[in-house]
Amino acid sequence: MIISATFLDEITHDIPSQNWGRTEWSREFKLMRAAGIDTVVQIRVGHRRWMSFDSKVLKKEQNCHQPPVDLVAMFLELAGENNMAYYFGTYDSGQHWHEGRADREIAINKPLVEEVWEHYGKYPAFKGWYLSHEVSRNVNGIVDILATMGGHCKKISNNLPVLISPYIAGKKEVSAFESQISREEGVSLNEHEAEWDKILSGIKGQVDQIAFQDGHVDFHELPAFLELNRRLAERHGLQSWSNTETFDRDMPIKFLPIAWPKLLLKLQAARAAGIEKVITFEFPHFLSPHSCYPQAHGLFERYCEHFGIRAQV
Amino acid sequence: MIISATFLDEITHDIPSQNWGRTEWSREFKLMRAAGIDTVVQIRVGHRRWMSFDSKVLKKEQNCHQPPVDLVAMFLELAGENNMAYYFGTYDSGQHWHEGRADREIAINKPLVEEVWEHYGKYPAFKGWYLSHEVSRNVNGIVDILATMGGHCKKISNNLPVLISPYIAGKKEVSAFESQISREEGVSLNEHEAEWDKILSGIKGQVDQIAFQDGHVDFHELPAFLELNRRLAERHGLQSWSNTETFDRDMPIKFLPIAWPKLLLKLQAARAAGIEKVITFEFPHFLSPHSCYPQAHGLFERYCEHFGIRAQV
Amino acid sequence: MIISATFLDEITHDIPSQNWGRTEWSREFKLMRAAGIDTVVQIRVGHRRWMSFDSKVLKKEQNCHQPPVDLVAMFLELAGENNMAYYFGTYDSGQHWHEGRADREIAINKPLVEEVWEHYGKYPAFKGWYLSHEVSRNVNGIVDILATMGGHCKKISNNLPVLISPYIAGKKEVSAFESQISREEGVSLNEHEAEWDKILSGIKGQVDQIAFQDGHVDFHELPAFLELNRRLAERHGLQSWSNTETFDRDMPIKFLPIAWPKLLLKLQAARAAGIEKVITFEFPHFLSPHSCYPQAHGLFERYCEHFGIRAQV
């Protein structure tokens, strides 16, 4: 069970930028394709006042800063050149929906995805949508956001698939801006099932793929949660992916590449649970031989050795 | 508006050392000069018990540890070889002035700068003084420290220019040793103006250049603060520089190189505000192609591309 | 006084893995040997649910995860090839002994070291034991654990030496998972002496070598503590080593390589105190020219320059 999809963490939220230009990204897409990645998901087109293309909607609605390059176009072109699918990640204000205004989050994103589809829908690599609003619980109007935006994205794009990547309210659900790495109590399997049954019922038909993040529970708890997540997805007609995180949540430095034994264990657990596809957060920072973190170079070596992947770096 | 000056963060306070020797520093000075840097500012000659040359004063007054090399001499020689100006940064006890004893801070630094001028004043690259005591408010006897030390430095050195680099008490004024990256309330423009009017009145004629750090306010707040800082400087007869930080204050890892779009935005804001010169904290760690942080290599590439700088690495 | 021993931080606890395979480790052992390292100490065979060889005992007692490679065998082979001594580090549950069940910690480790001796005792490089339970005070049943396990290890292995590496309850005894780097009060020399007199009396004859970690007190306090630690060791018939840490405890990023002036100061202090041997935590991450942290490459250069070490990288 190899990793066949990756997020691209632009605009970054808690992972420092590698400051790559087109040359570095072009090299990276080739390498990713050779290593078995067929799908890239731009995690969010914008966050707070930052945006990754010159969006009229985001300038008007959120006073976003002018970006120096059009990352959406670049990612679409490189995906096309390398025969990969590109998913577009929606805008996350980092604010409105946390303050009870899910409607405002939707009111910005609806015209935004229309603007995006009008400008970029013609690119052959544009193969799906990613709803960037991440939750672990039925809070912040998340059902409204996901159902409305999922439905709208599908409607304007002739039904392209829609992906979400929520997390589990496990023991390791701790802010990246806290020094601690875990808390006393995590969600139980029963609570998680009840909560997500409700959410997934509410977004049925508007979302196609669900990739729960796999890093918020302890490693020995993961098999049961993966199995439950697969059943939840099946029950509600979704494809079950796993977001196999390639960064290490157990260390004081937040975040560096994960230890290989941990990654292997998680991939084996995903396979055992019958997960359909593995996406990672994320290849360029944490699994790439070109990463700014040399620990990732080692991780890539171990990963390729284990799975017999031959990718010319 | 390119970066034409940089701090050299020795003795480091919260940025881990790169452990460079003369070979690495020699290469770095050449590169910096080629990239447009004409001024290097050693941020502080000593901090607590650490010092960067074998100072009789600091051994006697502060029991400082014997340093393995004379960084002051090395920086002066390399600056001279590369036709750059060197500014000497004073000693920060990290203690006395925080505990109400600004007079003790002055009593150490006065004979120290005399010792320094006697030993190093003959170097042609010795072109200025940097007063290393950083504040955002009129506290800790800062007016006394800056006025007395500025005046004393000028007097003994035939009026060499004196630089300071305070910060803004903005939302991002958070200790590097807290996990959080921001706080609820930052200083208002009015409060900042009133406070700094008072401080700058008190140090008039004793300080020549002021480079406010630009990282403690949000990016959309920066233009107004830069404009105000320029006006404050003009009002009190100071040259207005900006300390355009090249590290990222928005990430859990404190600190790695900044994302290029953020740096570009800040440089454009400095230019728009009529700032006279841009210094950065600091080239070797955060903007250099030789940095221990590969994100800096990318930042240097983007920076050079944008400004058409051709510097052989 | 050069560093002639190093820990190998596998399984890692708060230092992210470099994800090295046999090729990288083989290169590293050669380099370490050339740089004067004659002893490698695997810090712990397992921690919580992670283990570094396929141990029947740890699977049965602690449900440990299956490891992808046998690190114990690999380290023993590489130590043998390079004529180095290997010390085996015991298992740390990270739990039982912190919760008042030192007996459980012992009950797991006794059959574990028997399993290990049976499987690996034949390797000529197997030259000692390291008891991985680290304390600064007489707490958590530490005397029982160290005396019982030390005695047991010696008994089954024909009296191979046993090493421990406690720390000092100094000002810098702060969890790696707190953002702060120091606290108000550290232990006094008198308290430290009284506490460790008691502990060392209790483990007399069962432990042979003691390497106090040198990073928890301020640098100017270190000479007195090193001197006291040497006397404590002598008084109880132990060899006195120093665990000269090569990472920096004074920075917000926990942890990167230490600044060279700090390392030099600590090595000079160890020599002045009459310490018999210096081990470091740890060469591969913090002092190696192959480290994922380029600050370590500089540190290695400075270290080799100073001591006239010529090791081909």
pLDDT tens sequence across C249-305: 999 999 999 999 999 999 999 999 999 999 999 999 999 999 999 999 999 999 999
Assess A175–C contact: CB distance below 8 Å, yes or no: no
Q: State the nearest Cα–Cα gap between B130 and chain C, in angstroms.
A: 23
pLDDT band of B214, cuts 50, 70, 90: very high
Residue A252 touches chain C, beta carbons under 8 Å: yes
Cα–Cα dist A8/A14, whole Å? 13
pLDDT at C28 over 90: yes
A18 to B219: CB separation less than 8 angstroms, yes or no: no
Q: How close does chain A come to B196, measured CA to CA in Å? A: 29
Q: Do C254 and A252 touch (CB under 8 A)?
A: yes
Q: Which residue of B has its CA nearest to C251?
A: B14
The whole-angstrom separation of Cα B279 and Cα B292 is: 21
pLDDT at C312: 79
The whole-angstrom separation of Cα B37 and Cα A289 is 32
The C-alpha angle C260, C263, C265, rounded to 5 degrees, equals: 110
The CA distances from residue C217 to A77, A188, B153, C142, C270, in Å, are 56, 43, 36, 22, 14
In degrees rounded to 5, what are phi and psi of residue A114?
-65, -45
Residue A251 contacts B where some CB pair is shorter than 8 Å: no
Q: Tell whether C174 lies on the interface with B, counting CB pairs under 8 A.
A: no
Residue C208 in tokens: 């042979």
A31: left (phi over 0), alpha (psi -120 to 50) or beta: alpha
What integer pLDDT is reported at residue A1 of this predicted model?
86
- On the CB side of B182, how many CA atoms lie within 13 Å of its CA? 15
Alpha carbons A110 and A57: distance in angstroms, whole number: 10
Q: Would you put residue B160 in left (φ > 0), alpha (ψ -120 to 50) or beta?
A: beta
- Chain C nearest-CA distance from A286, in A, is 12
Of A238, A242, A236, residue with least CA distance to A273: A242
What tokens does A31 get? 């390498």
B261 touches chain A (CB under 8 A): yes
Checking if the pLDDT of B313 tops 90, the result is no
Token pair of A108 as six digits: 């910005």
Strand (E) or helix (H) holding A86 = strand A85-89
Length of chain B in terms of residues written: 313
Report residue C176 as tokens: 């790696």
For C184-227, how does the pLDDT look when each residue is reduced to its tens digit (9 = 90+)?
999 999 999 999 999 999 999 999 999 999 999 999 999 999 99
**B192: number of CA atoms within 13 Å, CB side?**
27
Q: Is there a contact between C298 and B254 if contact means CB atoms under 8 Å apart?
A: no
Percentage of residues in chain C with pLDDT exceeding 90?
A: 98
What mean pLDDT is predicted for residues B263-281?
A: 98
Q: Over the stretch B48-93, which tens digit does the pLDDT of each residue have?
A: 999 999 999 999 999 999 999 999 999 999 999 999 999 999 999 9
HEC secondary structure over chain B: CCEEEEEECCCCCCCCCCCCCHHHHHHHHHHHHHCCCCEEEECCCEECCEECCCCHHHHHHHCCCCCCCCHHHHHHHHHHHCCCEEEEECCECCCHHHHCCHHHHHHHHHHHHHHHHHHHCCCCCEEEEECCCCCCCCCCCHHHHHHHHHHHHHHHCCCCCEEECCCCCCCCCCCCCCCCCCCCCCCCHHHHHHHHHHHHHHCCCCCCEEEEECCCCCHHHHHHHHHHHHHHHHHCCCEEEEECCCECCCCCCCCCECCHHHHHHHHHHHHHCCCCEEEECCHHHHCCCCCCCHHHHHHHHHHHHHHCCCCCC
Contacts of C221 in chain B (CB under 8 A): none
**66-95 of B, contacting C, C-beta below 8 A:** 67-68
Contact with chain A for residue C253, Cβ under 8 A? yes
Residue type, C70: D
The predicted pLDDT at position A62 comes to 98
Task: Find residue B47's DSSP bridge partners.
Answer: B50, B92
Structure tokens at A185: 């109590």
pLDDT score for A6: 98
Residue B3 buriedness (CB in 10 A; 0-12 / 13-18 / 19+): buried
Whether residue B11 has pLDDT greater than 90: yes
Place B95 in a pLDDT band, splitting at 50, 70 and 90.
very high
Which chain B residues are within 8 Å of C171, Cβ to Cβ? Answer: none
Euclidean distance between the first and final Cα of chain B, in Å? 22
Name which of A219, A253, A301 is nearest C16 (Cβ-Cβ). Answer: A253
| pLDDT value at residue C207 | 98
Strands A239-243 and A50-51: unpaired
Please say if the pLDDT value at position C313 is more than 90.
no
Question: What's the complex ipTM?
Answer: 0.97
Q: Quick check: B177 and C252 CB within 8 A?
A: yes
Q: What are the φ/ψ torsions at residue B104 (nearest 5 degrees)?
A: -70, -40
Instruction: Using an 8 Å CB-CB cutoff, list chain C residues near B47.
Output: none
Model pLDDT, residue C23: 98
- Which residue, among C245, C250, C263, C306, would best test binding to B if mutated, counting the most B CBs under 10 Å from its CB? C250
Residues of chain A with Cβ-Cβ distance to C292 below 8 Å are: 293-295, 298
- The DSSP H or E segment spanning A229 is helix A222-235
With CA atoms as reference, the chain B residue closest to C304 would be B21
- Check if A177 contacts B (Cβ < 8 Å): yes
Give pLDDT, residue A252: 97
Burial class (CB within 10 angstroms; exposed 0-12, middle 13-18, buried 19+) of B83: exposed
- C234 is written with which tokens? 């002598």
| CA distance to partner chain C, nearest, from residue A220 (Å) | 8
A178 vs B contacts (CB less than 8 Å)? 179
Which residue from B251, B261, B297 is facing A14, i.e. has the nearest CB? Answer: B251
Mark yes or no for CB contact B295/A19 under 8 Å.
yes
In chain B, the percentage of residues whose pLDDT exceeds 70 is 100
DSSP A224: H
What does each of the 313 residues of chain A score in pLDDT, given as a tens digit? 899 999 999 999 999 999 999 999 999 999 999 999 999 999 999 999 999 999 999 999 999 999 999 999 999 999 999 999 999 999 999 999 999 999 999 999 999 999 999 999 999 999 999 999 999 999 999 999 999 999 999 999 999 999 999 999 999 999 999 999 999 999 999 999 999 999 999 999 999 999 999 999 999 999 999 999 999 999 999 999 999 999 999 999 999 999 999 999 999 999 999 999 999 999 999 999 999 999 999 999 999 999 999 997 7
Q: Is A293 on the interface with C (CB under 8 A)?
A: yes
Q: Nearest residue of C to residue B178 by CA position?
A: C179
By C-alpha distance, the chain B residue nearest C182 is B177
Cβ-Cβ contacts under 8 Å, B296 against chain A: 19
Is the entire prediction scored with pTM above 0.80? yes
**Residue B252 with chain A: CB contacts under 8 Å:** 14, 176-177, 254-255
Q: How far apart are CA C18 and CA C296, in angstroms?
A: 13
Q: Is A22 an interface residue toward B (CB < 8 Å)? A: no
Residues C254, A253: C-beta atoms closer than 8 Å: yes
pLDDT 10s digits, B163-192: 999 999 999 999 999 999 999 999 999 999
**Whole-Å CA distances, A245 to A248, B144, C239:** 8, 53, 45
C285: nearest CA in chain A?
A: A295
Q: Is the pLDDT of residue B194 over 90?
A: yes
Instruction: Read off the tokens for C61.
Output: 């007692």
Closest chain A residue by Cα to residue C292? A294
Q: How far apart are CA B45 and CA B57, in angstroms?
A: 12
What token pair was written down for A295?
A: 């620990």
Per-residue pLDDT, A313: 78
The answer to whether C247 faces chain B, any CB pair under 8 Å, is no
Instruction: Return the half-sphere exposure (C-beta side, CA atoms, 13 A cut-off) of residue B184.
Output: 0
Q: Which of C19, C178, C253 sits opposite A302 (nearest CB)?
A: C19
Q: What phi-psi label fits residue C134: left (phi over 0), alpha (psi between -120 and 50 degrees) or beta?
A: beta
pLDDT digits (tens, 9 = 90+) for B287-298: 999 999 999 999
What distance in Å separates the CA atoms of residue B32 and residue B12, rounded to the nearest whole number?
Answer: 20
B260 → closest Cβ in A68, A176, A179: A68
B65 touches chain C (CB under 8 A): yes
Interface partners of A (3+ CB pairs, < 8 Å)? Answer: B, C
On chain A, the residues whose CB falls within 8 A of the CB of C17 are 248, 257-260, 295, 298
Q: Do B176 and C261 touch (CB under 8 A)?
A: no
List of chain B residues whose C-beta atoms are within 8 Å of the C-beta of residue A176: 252
Mean pLDDT of B192-199: 97
- Choose the closest CB to C67 out of A179, A256, A261: A261
> What was the pLDDT predicted at C216?
98
Q: Cα A26–A28–A30 angle (5° rounding)?
A: 75
Compare all CA atoms of chain A with the CA of B218 and give the residue at the minimum distance: A49
pLDDT at site C192: 98
Instruction: Tell me the average pLDDT across B105-112.
Output: 98
The answer to whether C254 contacts chain A (CB < 8 Å) is yes
A–C interface: beta-carbon pairs under 8 A: 67
Q: Over chain B, what is the mean pLDDT?
A: 97
Give the span between the Cα atoms of B81 and B79, in whole angstroms.
Answer: 6
C53 → chain A, closest CA residue: A261
A96: closest CA of chain B, how far (Å): 17
The mean pLDDT of C91-115, rounded to a whole number, is: 97
Q: Do C253 and B63 touch (CB under 8 A)?
A: no
Give me the phi and psi of A16, to 5 degrees please. -60, 145
Q: Is some CB atom of chain A closer than 8 A to the CB atom of B224?
A: no
pLDDT at A284: 98
